[in-house]
Amino acid sequence: MKHIKSLFLLLIPALALSGCAARPAAATVSARVIDPTRPMLALTFDDGPSKYTDSILDVLAAVGGKATFCLIGNQIDNFPETVKRAAAEGHELAIHTWDHKELTALKSRDICTELSKTKDKITEVCGIVPRVLRPSYGLVNDKIKAVAADMDLVIVNWSVDTLDWKTKNPKSTVNAILRGAADGAIVLCHDLYGATAEAMKAVIPQLIEEGYQLVTVSELLSYNATEVKAGDLYRKGGARKTESSISAPQ
């Protein structure tokens, strides 16, 4: 019988950044067990933090799942304790711009400002240096890719769109996630809506029951067989290797 070995995934923050230039940052390490032979799914939540984010964190905590929260920079000071909690509980914090501007309409220097301000605010509040960019509306062009590469950010969109922002209906959100659930899927949700928080109470335990490991997008992509590069766009996990590319600092 084939022996299945669970691996310890060592998560380290990326380089801290000043403006659009990288500088070294002290790394902290937390261990987490992920089995690369079992299916993984990444839930992502845009447009928070909000008054509903803690409810989602409660559901994830109950099952030991992790998710990625794509934060609007100018909302962080409204919910700093929620952001600190998400970081402390091992969730990924990603950049979703400062005020949800359409980045494709901006000049490179203004794109840099949107991302840098949000990165700095996340780091100020909880000490986490984000490695992932979720662009507003999922819109990406060469300017955005170039700025993201300079800032050592991976661009992540999604393979499953719940349309929760449109339906604002828990059942519709649950059904959309279950229809699209697959190994390597990245699911787009929004923690801005109470209906989405309600949906998570039903769908997260069901995903666990179906055998999915709920992982962050960086955890998911770290098992890609091909190199994951800053400035590139990813919509789902790729063909998998058996060891994570994230390693402990030397």
Q: Which residues are catalytic?
A: 46, 190
Cα–Cα distance for residue pair 159/244, rounded to 1 Å? 21
Interstrand relation of 7-11 and 30-34 (parallel, antiparallel or unpaired):
antiparallel
Helix (H, G, I), strand (E, B) or coil at 19: coil
What secondary structure letter does DSSP report for 206?
Answer: H
Cα–Cα distance for residue pair 118/151, rounded to 1 Å? 12
208 with 214: CB under 8 angstroms? Answer: yes
**What residues pair up with 10 in beta bridges, in sequence order?**
31
Cα–Cα distance for residue pair 127/120, rounded to 1 Å? 9
140 with 106: CB under 8 angstroms? Answer: no
213 with 35: CB under 8 angstroms? Answer: yes
- Candidates 110, 120, 117, 116; CA nearest to 143 is 110
Rounded to whole angstroms, what are the CA distances from 203 to 38, 44, 45, 171? 19, 14, 14, 9
